[in-house]
Amino acid sequence: MKVPVLNKEMAWNWITKNEERIIEISDKIWELAELGLEEFKSSALLADTLEEHGFHVKRGIAGMPTAFEAVYGSGKPVIGIMGEYDALPGLSQKAVPYKEPVKEGAPGHGCGHNIHGTSGLAGAIAAKESLEQTEQKGTIKFFGTPAEETYDAKAFIVRAGHFDDVEAVLSHHPSEMNVGHLYSTLAMNMAKFHFYGVASHAAYAPESGRSALDALELMNIGVNFMREHIIQEARIHYVTEEGGGQPNVVPSYAQSWYYIRAPERDQVDQIYEWVLKIADGADQMARTTHAVEHLTGCSNIIPNKGLSDLVIANMREIGAPQYTREELSFAKELAKTITKDEKISSLRITKRPGWKDLIEVLIDQTIPDAWDEGEVLPGSTDVSDVSWKTPTMEFTTATWVLGTAPHSWQAVAQCGMGIGHQSLLFAAKIIAGTVLDLMTKPELLNSIHTEFHQRMKGREYKTPIPADITSPLELVNKSPTFIKR
């Protein structure tokens, strides 16, 4: 008779025995470097591999061909794992410690999503291997989540109900440090404003013209005056995408593109409503009309200390990676491309206690407790929408030398070689161990849920995506390379 005990060592041994194949999958996604919602080969590789290991895969969920859900097991608890695999435009880079693109102008994995998707996959399969050997009830759900960098795909997957029965979710992201963060992020709305006027000869008949560009500029001016009277943590950025053809023709069309961010979802909603009224006022001044194209949006992260503590405990039980001589040599060469001032700035931003002690450190091999409860990261992510539905933890592992900027060629280079591989295998073990803990310790899962409900008091999740947007596919042809974070 099988013994109903889930063995973490069994899962970790599976990762060790299969590390060559795990690295091969990550490197293949690194080579493919497909942009958001175009990750056909990358998502297929992950989905096919999960299918080969006994997972039931649903492809094309939430109306996105490169999104999928893979399920193994039955009954409760239901534990989710997320994996991303989209690349960034213009960051093509070889796995060398100096700047050299594989193909000039091509995409590259400057945020490590080749590792992100593969660590989740390996952790899910390893946990499944242990689950399979027991009579323990439980369900593992792996979510293949495309287009984190651009289209907030997870928010669409949440809206479609795929996380409704999930009791906790784990996600891993490459970074500089090994930690289960407790920071939040900025909620966001993304919209384009299309202004319509009347063309005329700017010198001969200016009185007949209605300048769409005037309206756009008046809106921008109004928004900039508004900044004095909103919370200082809010962020508003915009660009003018179209502003006319030539100066002697009054522009009949102009287009701007806005991001509106703030620490709380309701704050974004309030600021956004004000921005919409400013656009209305610009029309009155310029005698134009306009249309608003609300593209997408995301919420702010709801952290969970119980999940953070559990992830960190697994990190310490496994032990941080030890690097080979070749990996350290690579790291030292690459570190020469990062100035001391850049490194200090990167460390200071973390607000980590004792960050100055890391200035002369090459790769951070420590595993600190989370120090960032109450901090708000000045960026946005669609992981946040999942965190409003169920306890969620996106932890980080040291994948880059300290001072490496995300979305840089240095990050791409390290994600395709040994330092990145070490982070990948470490993260996969953390995921597997944490999943098995959640499945065998109901009191722990209960306490995590108690904390979740306490943090959600006074909050109610409302999707930030307008009902008339059926999926991000509608956005792809309009702005195929826009970057959110």
Give CA separation, 445 vs 30, 139, 376, in Å: 35, 14, 26
The rounded distance, in Å, linking the Cα atoms of 453 and 441 is 19
State which amino acid sits at residue 34.
Answer: E
Beta carbons of 340 and 358 less than 8 angstroms apart: no
Instruction: Between 151 and 390, name the one with better pLDDT.
Output: 390
Residues facing residue 195 across a β-bridge: 254, 290
Number of residues written out for the chain: 485
**SS3 assignment, position 249:** strand
> In which band, very low, low, confident or very high, does the pLDDT at 74 lie, cut at 50, 70 and 90?
very high
Band of residue 6 on the pLDDT scale cut at 50, 70, 90: low
Amino acid of residue 396: T
Residue 287 has pLDDT above 90, yes or no: yes
On average, the pLDDT of the chain sits at 95
pLDDT of 484 above 90: no
d(CA 102, CA 92): 6
Domains of the chain, first to last: 8-185+300-455 (3.40.630.10), 187-298 (3.30.70.360)
pLDDT band at 478 (very low <50, low <70, confident <90, very high): low
Mean pLDDT for the stretch of residues 222-237? 97
> Mean pLDDT, to the nearest integer, of 249-265?
97
The pLDDT of residue 480 is: 41
Strand-by-strand arrangement of the 235-242 sheet: 235-242, 253-262, 187-196, 289-298
* φ, ψ (nearest 5 deg) of residue 425: -70, -40
Yes or no: say if 212 and 197 are a contact pair by the CB < 8 Å rule: yes
Which distant-in-sequence residues (6+ apart) come within 8 Å of 263 by Cβ?
Answer: 184, 186, 187, 231, 233, 234, 300, 376
pLDDT of 169 reads 98
- Both tokens of 111, joined, read 């945020």
pTM value is: 0.93
State how far the Cα of 380 lies from the Cα of 484, in Å rounded to an integer: 7
* Rounded Cα–Cα distance for residues 217 and 239 (Å): 11
What average pLDDT does this structure show over 199-227? 97
Q: What are phi and psi of 416, to 5 degrees?
A: -110, 15
Summarised one tens digit per residue, pLDDT across range 335-346 is 999 999 999 999
Q: Which residues, at least 6 apart from 462, have a Cβ–Cβ distance to it below 8 Å?
A: 265
Omega within 30 of 0 (cis) for the link into 89: no
Task: Return the CA Rg of the chain.
Answer: 24
Please report the pLDDT score of residue 3 as a whole number: 40
Residue pair 140/81 in contact (Cβ under 8 Å)? The answer is yes
DSSP one-letter string for 88-155: BTT----SSSS---SSTT--B-TT-HHHHHHHHHHHHHHHHHHHHTS---EEEEEEE---TTTT-HHH
Distances (CA, A) of 242 to 73, 101, 194, 221, 462: 52, 31, 9, 17, 32
Distance CA 175, CA 232 (A): 27
Residues 400, 413: Cα–Cα separation, whole Å: 9
**Residues 157 and 60: beta-carbon distance below 8 Å:** no
481 confidence band (pLDDT: 50, 70, 90): very low
List, in order, residues 6 or more apart from 424 with CB less than 8 Å away.
22, 23, 26, 115, 118, 119, 122
Is 241's pLDDT higher than 90?
Answer: yes
pLDDT, position 469: 85
Looking at the chain, the whole-number percentage of residues with pLDDT higher than 90 is 91
